[in-house]
Amino acid sequence: MTPFAEPPATQYDLRFSLLGVPVRIHPFFWLVGLLLGLRGDLTHVKIEELLIWIAVLFVSILVHEFGHAAAVIFYRDRPWIILYGFGGLCCHHPSRHDPWRQIVISFAGPAAGFLLLGFVLSAIHAAEHQVGTVQLGLVPYPVFEPFESANLNFLIVQLIWINFFWGLINLLPIYPLDGGQIAREAFLLSDAGRGVERSLWLSVIAAAGVAVFGVVVLNEIFIALFFGYLAYNSWTILQRYRGFGGGFGGGF
Ligand SMILES: [Zn+2]
């Protein structure tokens, strides 16, 4: 994901460097991860499953952000990564703005998640357990022949779930998801004057559509609230952008 805004540093931040990329983890990352893990039946919380969930979330979001970081490094800029309450950010100061370059960087995050998913499925196959798909609406969703350990099965189910859907959701043409960035650059390539405005309109409509889908079809109030907020967020950016007579240069 790309920033709403870079969160301020706190004394509880965890900082380290991985493969030469500085990583900072804001305490809200763990808090929101915990809350997401506690969804469902609160009277039967399994500590092992909660810990596995947090570990899977941490690794998956880190892999996604390192996908962006690898593309940034490929273009000889210096990335840094932040994990916070809204997920992850991979930031850099672009040495120059180039739509195709930005599209590659935005796409590299979801692509890294799909690679991790492919690696997990290959590992299951290598352990001589069958891998297949079930049709989930329009998309084929990966399933596997379970192992003996319930915790291992839980770990794999979460890894598949998050890397599959996190990648797909991130490719929706909604700000500030990766797909929203890709849509903006694609619109800019075809119409530099009105590209940003058009991509914001698309973002409002797509986010509102997903919010309605979340309530009506999935009956998932969390999805509805999240995308309802993104629709509102895009709408306010659009109003501000028009207020500036189109002079708002992006950069959020
Ligand atoms: Zn991303």
Query: For 141-167, how does the pLDDT look when each residue is reduced to its tens digit (9 = 90+)?
Result: 999 999 999 999 999 999 999 999 889
Residue 57 — very low, low, confident or very high, per pLDDT cuts 50/70/90?
A: very high
3-state secondary structure of 55: helix
In the 8-state DSSP scheme, what is residue 54?
Answer: H
For 182-216, write each residue's pLDDT tens digit.
Answer: 999 999 999 888 899 999 999 999 999 999 999 99
On whether both 238 and 216 belong to a single domain, the answer is yes
The per-residue pLDDT for 86 is 81
Contact 96, 20 (CB under 8 A): no
DSSP string, 77-131: ---EEEEETTEEEEE---SS--HHHHHHHHHHHHHHHHHHHHHHHHHHHHTT--E
Q: 92 and 159: one domain?
A: yes
Q: Which domain holds residue 243?
A: 172-252
Say yes or no: 143 and 242 in one domain. Answer: no
Lowest mean pLDDT among 39-48, 87-96, 187-196: 39-48
Query: In terms of domains, do 134 and 184 share one?
Result: no
Last residue of some domain: 169, 200, 234?
Answer: 169
Q: How many domains does the chain have?
A: 2
Indicate the residue among 129, 147, 169 that finishes a domain: 169
- What letter represents residue 156's amino acid? I
Please tell me whether residues 128 and 208 are part of one structural domain: no
Distance CA 123, CA 31 (A): 31
Q: How far is the CA of 210 from the centre of ligand 1 (A)?
A: 19
Do 70 and 186 lie in a common domain? no
Distance from Cα 113 to the centre of ligand 1, integer Å: 10
- Say if residue 251's pLDDT is above 90: no
How many angstroms is it from 1 CA to the middle of ligand 1? 3
Whether residue 36 sits in one domain with residue 114: yes
- Domain match, 12 and 100 both: yes
Asked if 158 and 33 sit in the same domain, the reply is yes
Q: What are the start-end ranges of the E strands in 97-228?
A: 131-136, 139-144
Cα(40) to ligand 1 centroid in Å equals: 27
Mean pLDDT of 168-191: 94
**Last-in-domain residue among 137, 169, 201:** 169
Overall pTM > 0.85? yes
Interval between CA 80 and ligand 1 midpoint (Å): 13
115 Cα to the center of ligand 1, angstroms = 14
Give me ligand 1 centre to Cα 48, in Å.
28
